[in-house]
Amino acid sequence: MKHGEGKRRGNSSCEKKACNDIIFDKTMPLTRAQEKFLSNAKNKTRLIDVLRETLTENEIFSCQAETDADRLIIKTAVNL
């Protein structure tokens, strides 16, 4: 389907709106669709922070790439 036709029908990816910022913790159930929740950069960042915190609490090593995750994955694997 062409972009113009999709937009006319209201199902173009340009028509999708990002989810609002959601304040949450690891005990809260998600009440939004995953795709919508993760469409918001702040929600995604908070989720990564909560996951890393949980891993650390369980003595599981984690690191987060600032830019190139592939490079970090290879570097970490080589150092193990």
Domain ranges for the chain: 18-79
The verdict on pTM exceeding 0.85 is no
Classified as helix, coil or strand, 21 is coil
* Between 65 and 6, the higher pLDDT residue: 65
Two structure tokens written together for 1? 């389907």
Using alpha carbons, select from 39, 62, 60, 59 the residue that is nearest to residue 49.
62
Q: What region, left, alpha or beta, does residue 59 occupy, with left being phi > 0 and alpha being psi -120 to 50 degrees?
A: left
| 8-46 tens-digit pLDDT | 555 444 346 778 899 898 899 988 899 999 999 999 999
Provide the pLDDT for residue 16: 62
Which residues have C-beta within 8 Å of that of residue 7, sequence separation ≥ 6? Answer: 14, 15
Give the whole-angstrom CA distance, residue 65 versus residue 44: 14
